[in-house]
Structure 1
């Protein structure tokens, strides 16, 4: 079943001289766009991916394939620049590095966010980007499991499968305990965070991209399965282990035009190729990779590029200058071992039992996602005791741009504990506090002219004082949730928590414990004015012909959700834009 040796790819030396469309980056967006464009046998498509295929049994097992359990085969990891607002400590940067991109290593969480998010985009002058505009693009790729027919909230016929593992009951006892604690704090239970009929704020049972066979449904397996790639061998080529070093740029009237991509193997062997695009090039390399390639191609801040000896085609300070990310701070506790994923590490017999249960019945811990639940809140609607206090009609309007959560609390039935006898019979449990509407903006810059060098990424976590204030509220809510779980009788004990709840004590704890959630967005944001963004509302790079961007880098602002579903919607919308442009040129 697993396409170890049967997957058809093309070596750089065997590529054609030109294709109608060249897609750079085989991540979430790239796989979708490649699938849709290659549906037409008269359209030739080339997809270039820096990483390998990296197909294996473990890469499809939900629990084993997540980044925190991964050996790093499908990811690339390096350090950020020192974070000045976090004691000059370095954050870990993790990006997907295989066909399917980050969908191969993420938490598989399927959340679209609220309509209010996209109301804010349209209020920035971005016509065609309201939630109602995007809703069909959320539905088109979705293959919801567990419902009998498509609804206004879910489509059952798409390739990209998702389901709620915790429906109707949760998998771990900790989840049930957390739901009861949230209800005691006056938060409603959201049974489907993607439904327009559910509350805005509350404890949400999450949907995950897991198919009916219990496998991770990443975008490579969903949109570019082996059989599809083979059936389109006459008009679709996929080239992996290939790096685009730069784009060819020349003047075309008042605009600049991009018509070629320069490709080398990820491991240098002397093979070089320049491939032409007859119609358009689409960058889908993610917020870090897309910005890096523009800079390598001489598109970006002149002073920075000149220092590295890169010819400047367009002096454009905004490129790579508006990066956003969700930073999270985990509070860690001990719980009964049987209630934690830790039991797989500490009890070999449990691991064997659960593995057999997964293999033969598609059940058990190996099926479960890393986190089942998320609590969404707004810091201004929390009492001093972290009670939810705002469910009047104003706060229930899902389209009101002011009604967005700025706090997410994730509960995970796992946390690493010290390996000593004291914790031998304990399981780890963590509650993550995350400001999900940060105002901080960071940057992507080059370290050298070598495209193989990791760029200098500065998430600028807590760069805006507002984010620090929200983080304090989020941490207090996480601690209050744990306290309520204990008051209700669940056996949960502090392991790594702040020494107190003053701002200073919370700040000290955040410096020690904080982590990125790897939700990099907005580095080449969409804006009507090229002073404030890199692409226009049609995803065209301002001032260029033949070049678009379609990935999380174009988000005007980071979404108040896990971003993957929105990335897929952007890709679907981009395909319609590409087709419309092609039709117009033919006419």
Structure 2
């Protein structure tokens, strides 16, 4: 006899930033039952919770999706690792922990595309509801009572201070709070770290909610299909192992897909929702044709490396031998240490060329450097790194399932730097970073540029360097784009409901219509907070709330 599927009010696919917030918010309502399906294991790996542990977790397939992009001419024929989290907390358990909202005009542009209620002032209260800002910030712009602590960098290196001093001398303002709505300038990043520990979305939102009997979280549950009755989504099928028997869980009210930009697109496609050409390639009948998987975008960064003078102690030395022992002791005693820092220390938000109204670049600086061609292996000499990427790339790619087997990675083609203006802005970013690394304030500590090297100077040489050495920043968006039904590129409406289907909603970074001028984590959490009010039938928060 077949077993009767378990039934809940809501089934959420994915326990990342969005899924964790949704599970917490929906179960605040008495009697509402929620089942969260997470493809990965529980977040028991100790490296998840130590901030510097990202060096370990990003290369650990037990807690990450080890995706790679398709190689292209503009990546030097390379496929690029574009890793995503696969555990409770999703990518918030393995990311750089940076909290960055972006510029107000990012969201104003979303609203101008016909997405009602998605302007900056509409979304600001939802950013604020998420965060508990510990440090400087305007009360009307920063949240003080949310579940996610947002703290300032507390481990400060002399090279970071020199870099900031050099930027200020070069004309960049020092910005005390880039999340205030005025982004331009230089300063230290804000991050989701408290008392020396990473605070993931799972730790901040999901774990407290799991004490409620109405919430059930199933790990190692890889969604393999959306169940429909007519045009209505009524459940999810999932696998606990490759080749196993699918298990079905049902939703009385809604199915919510929060699996991330890559996995959300793949799940929709293997369920028959997507472009006819993509579905035909994997042998899936078209259930509902929509441009799922298209409009994919990512930030592409190039990083320059400088060798420090002998005697300058950088992260490269502090993370080895007796230096590391001392840092571990500091961390264990609750003192600032390299174990409790984000991988990027200093931010730069500036312009690729003079005359722009707003910054079109994000830059990062770290008082340490990785060996060329090696993943998170520190150089054997003292060094520092700075890099930049374009805020709003126009190069568009796609995510397309290769088969109906959800254990097979999909094709990910970001088409990095395909757009001519993207290449122009990227060049401007490289030249800006090079100038800021060679200020008098920095050269008191530095010996020479090792990557790409000062002999690499012409535009074609710098672009060749970018093609051969650039990489993702793991900011994947757009495969289920939000927009009006008449927009042929859109998949969901402005309440995140899938066009033409019932009781199916997408809530994650895949719905972003365009790239925010920021790391995507903060905006993904805002999207989930806003979606929770849609689902619960609550009136929208106002900026004065």
> Normalising TM by the smaller chain, what interval?
over 0.9
Displacement, 1:224? 1.7
Match of 2:204 among 211, 222, 241: 222
- Gap runs ≥5 in structure 2: 540-545
Indicate how the Cα distance of structure 1 residues 136 and 108 shifts in structure 2: closer, same or farther if over 3 A, else same.
same
- 2:199 is the counterpart of 1:210: no
Match of residue 320 from structure 1:
293
What does 1:82-161 align with in structure 2 at a 5 Å threshold? 82-146=71-135, 151-161=139-149
Match of residue 10 from structure 1:
none
Distance 1:531 1:288 in 2: 20
- Moved >6 Å (runs of 4+): none
Displacement, 1:326? 0.2
Distance 1:46 1:23 in 2: 6
Indicate how the Cα distance of structure 1 residues 431 and 299 shifts in structure 2: closer, same or farther if over 3 A, else same.
same
Is 1:173–1:339's contact at 8 Å kept on the other side of the alignment? no
TM-score, normalisation: structure 1: 0.86
Indicate how the Cα distance of structure 1 residues 560 and 428 shifts in structure 2: closer, same or farther if over 3 A, else same.
same
Further displaced range: 431-440 or 552-561? 431-440
Distance 1:575 1:46 in 2: 15
Aligned residues: 531
Further displaced range: 138-147 or 277-286? 138-147
TM-score, normalisation: structure 2: 0.92
Distance 2:529 2:385 in 1: 35
Displacement, 1:152? 1.2
Distance 2:46 2:79 in 1: 33
- 2:223 is the counterpart of 1:249: no
Distance 2:122 2:332 in 1: 41
Deviations 1:24-56 (A, max 9, x none): 011110000001111223101000000111323
Match of residue 458 from structure 1:
413
Further displaced range: 536-545 or 525-534? 525-534
Match of residue 233 from structure 2:
258
- 2:514 is the counterpart of 1:514: no
Is 2:399–2:411's contact at 8 Å kept on the other side of the alignment? yes
Distance 1:14 1:364 in 2: 53
Q: What SS is found at the alignment partner of 1:566?
A: helix
Match of 2:391 among 436, 454, 457: 436
Match of residue 31 from structure 2:
42
Deviations 1:351-370 (A, max 9, x none): 11110110112421111211
Distance 1:150 1:416 in 2: 37
What does 1:20-99 align with in structure 2 at a 5 Å threshold? 20-66=9-55, 71-99=60-88
- 2:529 is the counterpart of 1:572: yes
Is 1:74–1:97's contact at 8 Å kept on the other side of the alignment? yes
What does 1:406-555 align with in structure 2 at a 5 Å threshold? 406-417=360-371, 426-485=381-440, 489-498=444-453, 499-528=455-484, 529-555=486-512
Distance 2:254 2:173 in 1: 47
Match of residue 4 from structure 1:
none
Deviations 1:283-329 (A, max 9, x none): 1011101111110001111122123221210233x211100000001
Match of residue 8 from structure 1:
none
Is 1:174–1:339's contact at 8 Å kept on the other side of the alignment? no
Match of residue 270 from structure 1:
244
Indicate how the Cα distance of structure 1 residues 343 and 73 shifts in structure 2: closer, same or farther if over 3 A, else same.
farther
Q: What SS is found at the alignment partner of 2:82?
A: strand
Displacement, 1:209? 0.4
Is 2:58–2:64's contact at 8 Å kept on the other side of the alignment? no
Match of 2:306 among 333, 346, 366: 333
Displacement, 1:407? 1.2
Distance 1:493 1:301 in 2: 51
Match of 1:284 among 225, 250, 258: 258
CA RMSD of the aligned region, Å?
2.3
Displacement, 1:424? 8.6
Distance 1:150 1:187 in 2: 22
Distance 2:380 2:489 in 1: 54
Is 2:58–2:94's contact at 8 Å kept on the other side of the alignment? no
- Gap runs ≥5 in structure 1: 1-12, 382-388, 396-402, 583-587
Is 1:193–1:205's contact at 8 Å kept on the other side of the alignment? no
Displacement, 1:482? 1.1
Distance 1:452 1:69 in 2: 19
Deviations 1:509-536 (A, max 9, x none): 1122111001000111101135121011
Q: What SS is found at the alignment partner of 1:109?
A: coil
Match of 2:163 among 178, 187, 198: 178
Is 2:316–2:380's contact at 8 Å kept on the other side of the alignment? no
Indicate how the Cα distance of structure 1 residues 525 and 545 shifts in structure 2: closer, same or farther if over 3 A, else same.
same
Displacement, 1:488? 5.2
Match of 2:216 among 233, 237, 242: 237
Distance 1:138 1:331 in 2: 33
Match of 2:179 among 153, 169, 194: 194
Deviations 1:358-411 (A, max 9, x none): 011242111121111111112232xxxxxxx67xxxx4xxxxxxx3x2211111
Is 2:395–2:417's contact at 8 Å kept on the other side of the alignment? yes
Indicate how the Cα distance of structure 1 residues 460 and 68 shifts in structure 2: closer, same or farther if over 3 A, else same.
farther
Indicate how the Cα distance of structure 1 residues 37 and 482 shifts in structure 2: closer, same or farther if over 3 A, else same.
same
